[in-house]
């Protein structure tokens, strides 16, 4: 009798461990999220990917899409000022916004993007006195799990570069 009890407990422990490991692997699986950081928004043709902006940039957009998202999930952006030369404290949270992926949201998208893609954009407006020069990033979360970090810079120089221009220079 004791032997059967031990085997049952062992089987239960193995089952719990397997389920726990399987659940943690599924929870941490990364979702492919395509993004474009830009200062122009046009759903048919978003602006060029940029990682450098000027203090007078009116809006910074983070355009996103994925075919791996599911109804009921939440996608969140958190905009951070990493280093603005003491204009803001280091790693200052500027703003955050959340998209709840629900049926009403998807029904609005079906006419603009075929297939099973979810897409949308997050944006951040220029402060009244302009963007402080410095380093920034935006973190993207899916159901509060980190998915992606996108770094960008605000520079006083009028010459801004795009990621594709930088890639061309390195070849």
Name the residue with higher pLDDT: 161 or 104: 104
- Which residues are CB-neighbours of 99 under 8 A, at least 6 positions away? 74, 75, 76, 105, 120, 122
- Band (pLDDT 50/70/90 cuts) for residue 97 is very high
Overall pTM > 0.75? no
The mean per-residue pLDDT over the stretch 10-35 comes to 53
Across 99-117, b (16+ Cβ under 10 Å) vs e yields bebeeeeeeebeeeeeeeb
């Amino acid at each position: 009798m004791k032997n059967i009890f031990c085997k049952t407990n062992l089987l239960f422990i193995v089952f719990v461990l397997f389920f726990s490991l399987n659940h943690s692997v599924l929870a941490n699986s990364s979702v492919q999220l395509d993004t474009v950081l830009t200062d122009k928004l046009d759903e048919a043709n978003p602006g060029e990917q940029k990682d450098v902006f000027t203090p007078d940039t009116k809006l910074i957009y983070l355009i996103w899409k994925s075919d791996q998202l599911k109804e009921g999930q939440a996608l969140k952006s958190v905009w951070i000022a990493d280093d603005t030369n003491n204009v803001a404290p280091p790693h200052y949270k500027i703003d955050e916004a959340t998209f709840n992926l629900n049926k009403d949201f998807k029904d609005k998208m079906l006419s603009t993007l075929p297939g099973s893609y979810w897409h949308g954009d997050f944006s951040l407006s220029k402060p009244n006195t302009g963007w402080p020069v410095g380093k920034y990033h935006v973190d993207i979360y899916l159901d509060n799990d980190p998915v992606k970090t996108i770094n960008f810079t605000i520079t006083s120089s009028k010459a801004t570069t795009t990621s594709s221009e930088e890639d061309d220079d390195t070849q």
